[in-house]
């Protein structure tokens, strides 16, 4: 597929998706959301890619939110359809069978912050700014921000950010656990790629099962979540990579994982 709003590339076994509408601060219009759906589905299914990185073009923004110009005339049913579509695409990103890292420079507001939260890990430049300013527009977060933000930073801080619409800097985002790491301005992609390379060197099925255990387990009670973890642990023992990883350790060599 030809993408009008994305740049899609791979570097070795890392896939990179860049939202490329810098003049509109990479705001998410319906076409961009549809392209994200397609790109992530393709990269998720591509066994040559072990880790995915999502970023925004230009220095000013990761994504400044849903495209307000595209949203302003929606009737309620179209708005609902837009919200469902965005939620579906973000959930697909969250459930990719491989790690997804958001590399964030500049604004990650509204739908942009929600998109970053659908990724597994967030690495931000010092110039990054985060917020859910939807209340300024008379709406609430529509791409699951009311759900993912409290799960990441806790209910009290999430309510503060969503009710006030305040925009916070990278240092505060780090302090509240919204981002994993803050790096010098402009180095967010480089840093994300470094982490992606590190993860890509691990057993891909072990990373995938860990992700499933964390994402699904957090929605269960502790007993069920631990049972689920045990099932996945057992499943890992059915894989070639588990046998290879343990053999390599005992033979004092580097493992060669085959994703099977």
Q: Which of 15, 56, 65, 204 binds ligand DAK (CB under 6 A)?
A: 65
In the complex, least distance from residue 197 CB atom to ligand DAK, rounded to whole angstroms: 31
Residue 196 to residue 211: CA distance in whole angstroms: 15
**Sign of the C-alpha dihedral computed for residues 7, 10, 11 and 16 taken in this order:** positive
Q: Which of 41, 79, 152, 175 binds ligand DAK (CB under 6 A)?
A: 79
The one-character DSSP state at 167 is E
6 binds ligand DAK (CB under 6 A): no
Q: Where in the sequence numbering do the catalytic residues fall?
A: 114, 134
In the complex, least distance from residue 54 CB atom to ligand DAK, rounded to whole angstroms: 16
Measure CA of the first residue to CA of the last residue in the chain; give whole Å.
Answer: 28
In the complex, least distance from residue 8 CB atom to ligand DAK, rounded to whole angstroms: 22
Sheet of 121-125, strand order: 6-11, 14-19, 51-56, 99-104, 121-125, 181-183
135 binds ligand DAK (CB under 6 A): no
14 binds ligand DAK (CB under 6 A): no
In the complex, least distance from residue 60 CB atom to ligand DAK, rounded to whole angstroms: 6
Q: Which residues contact 63 (CB under 8 A, 6 or more apart)?
A: 19, 25, 26, 27, 28, 56, 107, 108, 109, 111, 112, 115, 116
Name the site residues for ligand DAK (rule: CB under 6 A): 24-25, 27, 64-69, 79, 82-83, 86, 107, 109-111, 133-134, 137, 139, 142-143
């Amino acid at each position: 597929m030809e993408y009008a709003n994305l740049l899609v590339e791979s570097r070795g076994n890392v896939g990179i998706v860049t939202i490329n509408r810098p003049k509109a601060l990479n705001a998410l219009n319906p076409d961009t959301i549809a392209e994200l759906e397609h790109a992530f589905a393709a990269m998720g299914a591509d066994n040559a890619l072990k880790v995915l990185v999502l970023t925004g073009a230009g220095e000013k923004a990761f994504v400044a939110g849903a495209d307000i110009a595209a949203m302003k005339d929606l009737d309620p049913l179209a708005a609902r359809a837009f919200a469902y579509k965005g939620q579906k695409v973000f959930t697909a990103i969250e459930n990719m069978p491989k790690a997804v890292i958001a590399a964030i420079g500049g604004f990650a507001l509204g739908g942009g912050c929600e998109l970053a939260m659908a990724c597994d890990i967030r690495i931000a430049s010092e110039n990054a700014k985060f917020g859910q300013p939807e209340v300024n527009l008379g709406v609430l977060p529509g791409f699951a921000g009311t759900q993912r933000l409290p799960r990441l930073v806790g209910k009290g801080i999430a309510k503060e950010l969503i009710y006030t619409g305040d925009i916070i800097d990278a240092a505060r985002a780090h302090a509240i656990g919204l981002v994993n790491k803050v790096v010098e301005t402009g180095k967010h992609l480089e840093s994300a790629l470094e982490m992606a390379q590190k993860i890509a060197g691990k057993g891909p099925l072990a990373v995938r099962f860990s992700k499933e255990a964390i994402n699904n387990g957090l929605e269960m009670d502790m007993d069920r979540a631990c049972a689920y973890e045990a099932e996945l642990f057992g499943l890992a023992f059915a894989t070639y990579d588990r046998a290879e990883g343990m053999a390599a350790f005992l033979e004092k060599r580097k493992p060669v994982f085959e994703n099977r």
